Amino acid sequence: MNTREKPAWFVTGTDTGTGKTLVSCALLLALSGKKIRAVGMKPVAAGLDADGRNDDAKQLIAASSVDAPYPLVNPYPLRAAIAPHIAAAEEGATIELPPIVAAFGRLRAMADAVIVEGVGGFRVPLNAECDTSDLAVALDLPVILVVGLRLGCINHALLSQQAIAACGLPLAGWVANRIDPAMLRPEENLAALRERIAAPLLGVVPCGATPQRVAPYLQLPAWERPPPV
């Protein structure tokens, strides 16, 4: 199989803290459950543990069924847990897309499927010229949107949907994550999102769920290879 024909998706969120890592890990486990060798990637990660690695990236590695070197999974590990372009500047570094694209290509050659987790929302700056939407375009992947169910999520989800469409990328599906147990009228908000997001709802994640709990109930999006750019 040509590497471009192998399934891969770019996971983004309506904001930071919406559960991208949880959903990405659940997708990896769901793929593995179907005997699909899958690997996760966190191209840019802000905030490192004492061992100099990012916790989100380590969770993706643990959920992957392909053993990949950490530098391929996380080409840009940044020490401070702040906006990535600011963290990189403080370290005297510049986040560039070609090394990420090259690392993704190597991961895709190693596995049957790749789950790429973005950083923050869909338009987080990476350097002075580009943001995470440019990264998704450079990788040429369908997008999975994680919607954190909390006050304001409808506006954030619809703006994210518009931004994804404006980039010419398909929205392969979305996941609703109940991140705020005190949210008022969650079902009404979920219904409004269903009516307005033009993509399949892949699943609803309950509060406090683990990837292992979510994986069996998460629908995998259909894979349609993006057209050549």
Catalytic machinery residues: 42
CB atoms closer than 10 angstroms to residue 5: 8
Neighbours of 41 (CB within 10 A): 28
Nearest CA to 157 among 22, 172, 149? 149
- Residue 9's nearest CA partner among 129, 120, 171 is 171
Cα 82 from Cα 58, distance rounded (Å) = 19
The neighbour count for residue 98, using CB atoms within 10 Å, is 8
Non-local (6+) Cβ contacts of 123 within 8 A are 131, 132, 133, 163
Query: Is residue 105 a contact partner of residue 138, using CB atoms and an 8 Å limit?
Result: no
Question: DSSP string spanning 151-178?
Answer: TTHHHHHHHHHHHHHHTT--EEEEEEE-
